Amino acid sequence: MGKHLLTVESLSKRFHSGGRAVAAADALSFHIDAAETLALAGPSGSGKSTVARLLLRLIEPDAGSIAFEGDDWLALQGNALRARRARMQMVFQDPLAAFNPRATVARVLDDPLRIRRIAPRSERPARIAELLERVGLSPNLAGRTVHEVSGGQRQRVAIARAIATKPSLIVLDEAVSALDVSVRGKILELLADLQRTDGIAYLFISHDLGLVRAFAHRVAILDGGRLTEEGDARAVIDAPRSAVGKALVAATPRLHRLTGQDAS
Amino acid sequence: MRRRFLQTPEAVAGTAILVLLAAMALAAPLLFPGDPLRIAGPALTPPFQDWALPLGTDRLGRDVLAELFHGARTSLVVGLAAAAASLAVGAVIGTLAGFAGGLADEALMRLTDAFQTVPGFLLALAFVSIVGPSLSVVVAAIALSAWTGPARIARAEVLSIRERDFVAGARVVGMHPLEIAFREVLPNALPPVLALSSIIVAQAILIEAALSFLGLGDPNRVTWGGMVAEGRTVLRTAPFLSIVPGIALVVTVLGVYLAGEGAVEGAAVRKGLS
Amino acid sequence: MSAAQQAPLVALRGLTVAYGDDAPALSAIDLDIRAGERLALIGESGSGKSTLALAFADLLPASAKTAGTIEWEGTSPLGGRDIGFVFQNPAGSLDPVMAVGRQVAEVARTHLGLSWPDALARACDLFGRVGLPDPDTLVHAFPHQLSGGQKQRVALAAAIAARPKLLIADEATSALDTIVQAEIVALIRRLAAEDGMTLLFVSHDIALAAELADRIAVLRGGRLMELGPTRQVIGRPQNSYTRSLIAAHIGLDSPPLFAAANMSAPANG
Ligand SMILES: Nc1ncnc2c1ncn2[C@@H]1O[C@H](COP(=O)(O)OP(=O)(O)OP(=O)(O)O)[C@@H](O)[C@H]1O
Ligand SMILES: Nc1ncnc2c1ncn2[C@@H]1O[C@H](COP(=O)(O)OP(=O)(O)OP(=O)(O)O)[C@@H](O)[C@H]1O
Ligand SMILES: [Mg+2]
Ligand SMILES: [Mg+2]
> Looking at beta carbons, which residues of chain A come within 8 Å of C145?
15, 17
Confidence of residue C1 (pLDDT cuts 50, 70, 90): very low
Q: Is the confidence at residue B250, as pLDDT, over 90?
A: yes
DSSP C146: S
Q: Is the minimum distance from the CB of A48 to ligand 1 under 6 angstroms?
A: yes
Residue A152 sits in the same domain as residue A208: no
Contact A116 B170 (CB under 8 A): no
| Side chain identity, residue A56 | L
Interface touch A18/C44, C-beta < 8 Å? no
Please check whether residues A146 and A112 belong to one and the same domain: yes
Confidence band of A236 (pLDDT split at 50, 70, 90): very high
pTM of the model: 0.79
Which stretches does DSSP call E strand in A56-191?
63-68, 71-72, 88-91, 169-173
Q: How confident is the model at residue B261 (pLDDT cuts 50, 70, 90)?
A: confident
Q: Which B residues 153-182 touch C at CB under 8 Å?
A: 156, 159-160, 163
pLDDT number for residue C82: 85
- The answer to whether residue A126 sits within a structural domain is yes
**What is the side-by-side order of every strand in the sheet holding C198-202?**
C83-86, C166-170, C198-202, C38-43, C215-220, C223-229
pLDDT of residue A259: 61
Structure confidence at residue B267 as a pLDDT band (50, 70, 90): low
C20 to chain B, any CB pair closer than 8 A? The answer is no
Flag whether pLDDT at C77 surpasses 50: yes
Name the pairing type of β-strands A63-68 and A226-232.
unpaired
Query: What residues have CB less than 8 Å from B120, skipping those under 6 apart?
Result: B142, B145, B146, B203, B207
For residue C181 and ligand 2, the question of a CB distance below 6 A is answered with no
Do both A184 and A158 map to the same domain?
A: no
Question: How many domains is chain A partitioned into structurally?
Answer: 2
- Looking at chain C, the whole-number percentage of residues with pLDDT higher than 90 is 29
Q: How far apart are CA C140 and CA C123, in angstroms?
A: 11
- Rounded to a whole number of angstroms, the CA Rg of chain A reads 19
The pLDDT-based confidence of B150 (bands split at 50, 70, 90) is very high
Is position A252 within any domain? yes
Between the CA of residue C131 and those of B87, C94, C176, C186, what are the distances in Å? Answer: 46, 18, 11, 11
| CA-based nearest distance C257→chain B, Å | 29
Residues of chain C with Cβ-Cβ distance to B268 below 8 Å are none
Res. C6 pLDDT band, cuts 50 70 90: low
Residue A5 lies in a domain: no
Q: Indicate whether C260 pLDDT > 60.
A: no
In order of A13, B26, C202, C264, the CA distances from C246 in angstroms are: 41, 69, 16, 31
Return the amino acid letter for A18: G
| A21 within domain boundaries | no
Q: Is the pLDDT of residue A79 over 80?
A: yes
Question: What span, in angstroms and rounded, lies between the C-alpha atoms of A111 and C60?
Answer: 35
Residue with the smallest CA separation from ligand 1 atom 16 is A47
Same domain, A249 and A173: yes
Whole-number Å distance between alpha carbons of A35 and A108: 26
Q: Do C97 and B272 touch (CB under 8 A)?
A: no
Domains and CATH numbers, chain B: 2-44+53-273 (1.10.3720.10)
Mutate to test the pocket of ligand 1, among A13, A40, A44, A50 (most ligand atoms within 8 A of CB): A50
Tell me how far apart the alpha carbons of residues A168 and A194 are, in angstroms, rounded to a whole number: 11
Q: What is the pLDDT of residue A83?
A: 92
Q: Are B148 and B206 in contact (CB under 8 A)?
A: no
Chain C residues in contact with A209 by the CB 8 A cut-off are 178, 252
Q: Nearest-CA residue of chain A relative to B187?
A: A102
Cβ contact B133:B216 at 8 Å: yes
Give the pLDDT score at A260. 54
Q: What is the pLDDT of residue C268?
A: 39
Residue C2 scores a pLDDT above 60: no
As a whole number of angstroms, the distance between CA C246 and CA B201 comes to: 62
Q: At what angle do helices B186-194 and B64-100 cross, to 10 degrees?
A: 140
Sorting pLDDT into bands at 50, 70 and 90, what band is B266? Answer: low
Q: Which residues contact C11 (CB under 8 A, 6 or more apart)?
A: C31, C32, C70, C71
Binning pLDDT at 50, 70 and 90, where does residue B5 land? low
With bands split at pLDDT 50, 70 and 90, how would you rate the model's confidence at C91?
low
Q: Which of A123, A145, A167 is the last residue of a domain?
A: A167
Do A111 and B165 lie within an 8 Å CB cutoff? no
Choice between C19 and B81, residue whose per-residue pLDDT is larger: B81
Of residues A92, A111, A161, nearest to B165 (C-beta): A92
Comparing alpha-carbon positions, the chain C residue that sits nearest to B165 is C144
Question: Is A112 close to B170, i.e. CB distance below 8 A?
Answer: no
- Give residue-wise pLDDT tens across range C194-248: 778 899 999 888 888 998 899 999 999 899 999 999 999 999 999 999 998 888 8
Chain A hits for B165, CB-CB cut-off 8 Å, are 92, 94, 97-98
Q: How confident is the model at residue B196 (pLDDT cuts 50, 70, 90)?
A: confident
Q: Are strands C64-72 and C8-19 parallel, antiparallel or unpaired?
A: antiparallel
B93: pLDDT strictly greater than 90:
yes
- Chain B residues touching residue A100 (CB < 8 angstroms): 166, 170, 184, 188
Q: Which residues contact A136 (CB under 8 A, 6 or more apart)?
A: A156, A186, A190
Helix, coil or strand: residue A24: strand
B53-70 pLDDT per residue, tens: 778 888 888 888 888 899
CATH of the domain at A245: 3.40.50.300
Confidence at residue A212, expressed as pLDDT on a 0 to 100 scale: 92
Q: Are residue A176 and residue A255 in the same domain, yes or no? A: yes
Within a domain: residue A128?
Answer: yes
**B269 sits in which H/E element:** helix B240-273
Mean pLDDT in residue range A75-93:
93
Mean pLDDT, rounded, for A250-256: 82
**Chain C contact set for B156 (CB, 8 A):** 97
Q: Which of A167, A185, A214 is the last residue of a domain?
A: A167
What integer pLDDT is reported at residue A97 of this predicted model? 85
Distance A237 CA to ligand 1 centre (A): 24
Assess A259–C contact: CB distance below 8 Å, yes or no.
Answer: yes
Pocket test for ligand 2, best of C15, C26, C45, C224 (most atoms within 8 A of CB): C45
pLDDT of residue B97: 94
Is residue A101 domain-shared with residue A229, that is, in the same domain? Answer: no
**End-to-end Cα spacing for chain A:** 39
Given this model, what pLDDT does residue C105 score? 92
Of the residues C15, C16, C22, C208, which should be mutated to test ligand 2's pocket, given the most ligand atoms within 8 Å of the CB? C22
Residue A112 to chain B, least CA–CA distance (Å): 6
Query: Which residues of B have a CB under 8 Å from any CB of A?
Result: 164-166, 168-176, 184, 187-188
Q: Is C242 in the pocket of ligand 2 (CB under 6 A)?
A: no
A85 and B184 within 8 Å at the Cβ level: the answer is no
Q: Taking CB atoms and an 8 Å limit, are C45 and A183 in contact across chains?
A: yes
- A207 — contact with chain C (CB < 8 Å)? yes
Comparison of pLDDT for C63 and B176, the residue scoring more: B176
Q: For ligand 1, is residue C146 a contact (CB within 6 Å)?
A: yes
- The residue-averaged pLDDT of B220-232 equals 88
C65 — contact with chain B (CB < 8 Å)?
A: no
Domain-located, residue A211: yes
pLDDT at C239: 92
Identify whether residues A197 and A118 lie together within a single domain.
Answer: no
Residues sharing a CB contact under 8 Å with residue B220, sequence separation 6 or more, in sequence order:
none
Asked if B30 reaches chain C (Cβ–Cβ under 8 Å), the answer is no
A15 lines ligand 1 (CB under 6 A): yes
> Which carries the bigger pLDDT value, residue A241 or residue C255?
A241
B233 touches chain C (CB under 8 A): no
Over chain A, what is the mean pLDDT?
90
pLDDT at position A183 over 80 = no
Kindly give the interhelix angle for B120-131 and B197-213, rounded to the nearest 10 degrees. 50
Q: Name the residue facing C181 among A215, A251, A258 (closest C-beta).
A: A251
Which is higher by pLDDT, C23 or A126? A126
User: Is the pLDDT reported for residue C262 higher than 70?
Assistant: no
Separation CA C135–CA C122 (nearest Å): 11
Residues A173 and A163 both lie in one domain: no
Q: What is the pLDDT of residue C182?
A: 83
| CB A196, CB C265: distance < 8 Å | yes
Q: Which residues contact A249 (CB under 8 A, 6 or more apart)?
A: A209, A237, A240, C252
Residue, of B235 and B166, whose pLDDT is higher = B166
Q: Which of A113-127, B149-163, C87-101 shows the lowest mean pLDDT across its residues?
A: C87-101
Check residue B268 and give its pLDDT.
Answer: 59
In a domain, A84, yes or no: no
A133, A167, A201 - which closes a domain: A167
pLDDT in tens, A31-73: 999 999 999 999 888 999 999 999 999 999 999 999 999 999 9
Mean pLDDT computed over every residue of chain B = 86
- Domain match, A113 and A151 both: yes
Q: Does A59 touch chain B (CB under 8 A)?
A: no
C12-59 pLDDT tens trace: 999 999 987 778 889 999 999 998 899 999 988 778 898 999 998 888
How many other CB atoms are found less than 10 A from the CB of residue B260?
Answer: 22
- Least confident range of B71-85, C62-76, C122-136: C62-76
Domain co-membership, A174 together with A47: yes
Contact C177, C208 (CB under 8 A): no
The minimum-distance atom of ligand 2 relative to the CA of C52 is 18
Residue of B nearest to A164 (CA): B173
Would you list the DSSP string of C30-99?
Answer: EEEEETT-EEEEEE-TTSSHHHHHHHHTT---TTEEEEEEEEESSSPPPBTTTEEEE-S-HHHHS-TTS-
Query: Chain A, 157-196: which have a CB under 8 Å from a chain C CB?
Result: 174, 177-185, 188-189, 192, 195-196
Cα(C217) to ligand 4 centroid in Å equals 15
Q: Lowest mean pLDDT: which of C59-73, C217-231, C246-260? A: C246-260
What pLDDT is stored for residue C265 in this prediction? 41
Size of interface A-B (CB pairs under 8 A): 56
- CA C42/CA C209 separation, integer angstroms: 8
Is residue C223 classed as helix, strand or coil in its secondary structure? strand
Contacts of B202 (CB under 8 A, 6+ apart): B79, B253, B256, B257, B260
Domain containing A144 equals 90-167
Same domain membership, residue A191 and residue A159 = no
| A96, A158: one domain | yes
Query: Hey, are the CB atoms on C96 and B160 less than 8 Å from each other?
Result: yes
> What is the C-alpha to C-alpha distance for residues A147 and A124, in angstroms, rounded to an integer?
22
Give the range among A259-263, C48-52, C79-83 with minimum mean pLDDT.
A259-263
Contacts of C219 in chain A (CB under 8 A): none
In this structure, is residue A24 part of a structural domain?
Answer: no
What is the complex's ipTM, to 2 decimals? 0.86
Verify whether ligand 2 is closer than 6 Å to residue C46 (CB atom): yes
Find the ligand nearest to C140 CA: 1
